[in-house]
Amino acid sequence: MRETEAPVLAASYFDGTHGRAQPVELQRVDEDLLLRGDGFERRIPAGELQWPEPGLHGVRVLHLARGGAIQCADGAAWD
């Protein structure tokens, strides 16, 4: 186990093929993003992440290079 772990955020995952979002937990691991949902876990390399601008009001949306998006309603926790 690492001495310091990144915080875990609740988010919604749109996989790019289905219209309905899946509830997930997000956590940064090194430069990658770990995505955990009901029955799946996916590690997304940093090069496939299109991070939103920090400090904007409202929901944060992270677009994935291979399609899909991750949405986090807690902008303060995201930043």
pTM: 0.82
Provide the edge-to-edge strand list for the sheet that holds 49-50. 40-44, 32-37, 22-29, 9-14, 69-72, 60-64, 49-50
Domain boundaries, the chain: 9-78
Q: How far, CA to CA in Å, does 29 sit from each of 4, 18, 19, 40, 56?
A: 11, 26, 28, 17, 24
Per-residue pLDDT reduced to its tens digit, 40-73? 999 999 999 988 777 667 888 999 998 999 999 8
